[in-house]
Amino acid sequence: MQPESFSHLDERGNPSMVDVGDKQVTLRTARAQSVVVLNEAVLKQFENEEIRTKKGPVFQTAILAGIMAVKKTSDLIPLCHPLPIDKIGIDIRLNEKKEVEIECTVRVTAKTGVEMEALTGASVAALTVYDMCKAFGHDMEIRHTRLLEKTGGKSDFSR
């Protein structure tokens, strides 16, 4: 079901925060993913499920950055509602292709969803991995950041 108009524009076409006042408070979840392709020099640093640099443990720092980003989403994205987040989970692992997979899961009991929060958390965690590893070379790539699933609200979504 496609909307007939953008939800963040008023009747005159100006930006407007969506009015969620009449919506029901429900449990809503979202899970997003970012993938970082590392260079060989960085991959050589991978040991015991972590990459250690002079700046510190990369994955642990990226998890904290992602959590902080989720909590700041409404400060970063102009038309997002500030939300009382119930739970944030960030999982970072090296996949079989030697890419860093970052998944951010967010849960809230509210009148609006947390897709943007999950996407923001995954994105900032990926940027943090890049930042902490760039001393080993800039030939890394942040690949797709995408919503994997969401529940609650008008409709559910799953990739």
Instruction: Give the active site residues.
Output: 131
Pairwise CA distance, residues 84 & 27, whole Å? 12
CB burial of residue 26 (10 Å; 0-12, 13-18, 19+): middle
H or E, element range at 4: none
Closest to 44 measured CA to CA, from 115, 116, 98, 5: 98
DSSP bridge partners of 92: 102
